[in-house]
Amino acid sequence: MTVFYQIVFRSVLRHMDAEKVHRMSFAALRGVTAIPGVASAMGRVLGPREPELAVRALGQEFPGPLGMAAGFDKNAESPSGLAALGFGFVEIGTVTAQPQPGNPAPRLFRLVEDRAIVNRMGFNNEGSALVAERLHHQRGGRRPVLGVNIGKTKVTPEADAPADYALSARRLARYADYLVVNVSSPNTPGLRNLQGVEQLRPLLAAVREALSEAGHPTLPLLVKIAPDLADEDVDAVADLALAEGLDGIIATNTTISREGLAASAEEVEAAGAGGLSGAPLRERSLEVLRRLRARVGDRVTLVAVGGIETPEDAWARIRAGATLVQGYTGLIYGGPLWPRRIHRGLARLVREAGYRSIGEAVGADVHGAGRPQESTAV
């Protein structure tokens, strides 16, 4: 199946509009997994089933550490369908308080030589009220551990951002297993300014208050940061996370850098502005993760994303301090069996390293001892 997918991708899919392919493939997945019994059957075959992969974090038990990153299912159309592909958890969004169309198309591009994607989607989504309603109707059935990623409505002034985020948090809290404050997309003007601690602190306070008002004061709260932050700013966010009692940090979002790409200058120029994801992000995302771990230790759950293509990539993030990892671009280039390959490879690496569970390896390269970490292993 992997070889077949690569043939189809290189001969057909890569020549089609990337956003159109996304819509078609996601619609096909939703259609197939909507057939009674299919999603559960796929989950049994493709889902993480090796006992050493089970992870406990953020108050939840994850069957495996690899999750679907935000951006694929912006409107919570089929978290269970994505879980059926073998992801251990699914993060929906980014969802904004008000519905918005996003940026004009075309806005999604592949740089195939680099195994990368450039997107300038601009938080296109149906708004938190409609997404909450959809999640309400999905309750009661089998669903994965669900993260909800929220962002700022484009037309909302920066000064009003706390209230904007708070409205989405209030609407969506009851459906989330954890909530992510996204202040790091490059595709909403001014959004990344909110990563500064003076702007981020009141925003997080407003979200916390909204969660309390919604009756979910202990819902795990995370922040997602950009790889383009200066090292001192990464440290500042880490310190803020500790001071404000954040439950986790997701490192990292897409990058605006175009350094070191194999694609031609013409291809890069044609793709234009936006966030770059995929293999070129690997080294910087790992650097940011290591810096965060050195700063916060195991007091904050770290989720690694950016340039994870192989089991070895995921394993390096775990040993550097990530309890969970996420992917998106890896699925695009790796095909529908990619989550299963990552989890199966991770199970092998855990056994080869002599660990009983993946939780024992979290931060092993930092601490060197490789002792079990009771807070992360089931």
187 labelled binding-site residue: yes
125 labelled binding-site residue: no
70 labelled binding-site residue: yes
94 labelled binding-site residue: yes
Query: Measuring CA to CA, which residue among 45, 84, 50, 54 is closest to residue 68?
Result: 84
120 labelled binding-site residue: yes
72 labelled binding-site residue: yes
What's the CA angle centered on 18, arms 14 and 23, to 5 degrees? 125
Query: Measuring CA to CA, which residue among 55, 44, 131 is closest to residue 91?
Result: 131
24 labelled binding-site residue: no
278 labelled binding-site residue: yes
Q: How far apart, in whole angstroms, are the C-alpha atoms of residue 99 and residue 127? A: 4
Q: How far apart, in whole angstroms, are the C-alpha atoms of residue 122 and residue 347? A: 36
Residue with token string 């997918």: 5
Question: Is 146 in contact with 90 (CB distance < 8 Å)?
Answer: yes
228 labelled binding-site residue: no
Q: How far apart, in whole angstroms, are the C-alpha atoms of residue 301 and residue 60? A: 12
Question: Is 243 in contact with 301 (CB distance < 8 Å)?
Answer: no
Concatenating the DSSP letter of every residue in 52-113 gives GG-EEETTEEESSSEEEPTTSSTT-S-HHHHHHTT-SEEEEEEE-SS-B--SPSP-EEEEGG
**Candidate list 78, 80, 185, 277, residue with the active-site label:** 185
Tell me phi and psi for residue 307, to 5 degrees. Answer: 80, 20
In the chain, DSSP finds a helix count (H) and a strand count (E) of: 14, 13
Q: How far apart, in whole angstroms, are the C-alpha atoms of residue 83 and residue 358? A: 20
Is 185 an annotated catalytic residue? Answer: yes
Residues with Cβ within 8 Å of 356's Cβ and at least 6 positions away in sequence, in order, are 52, 372, 377
Q: How far apart, in whole angstroms, are the C-alpha atoms of residue 170 and residue 213? A: 7
307 labelled binding-site residue: yes
Q: In whole angstroms, what separates CA 213 from the centre of its chain?
A: 26
Q: How far apart, in whole angstroms, are the C-alpha atoms of residue 177 and residue 146? A: 5
253 labelled binding-site residue: yes
71 labelled binding-site residue: yes
224 labelled binding-site residue: yes
252 labelled binding-site residue: yes
Q: Which two tokens stand for residue 346?
A: 């991770």
121 labelled binding-site residue: yes
115 labelled binding-site residue: no
> Binding site residues, as ranges?
70-74, 94, 119-123, 149, 182, 187, 224, 252-254, 278, 307, 328-329
Active site residues: 185
> Binding site residues for FMN, as ranges?
70-74, 94, 149, 182, 224, 252, 278, 307, 328-329
> Binding site residues for substrate, as ranges?
74, 119-123, 182, 187, 253-254
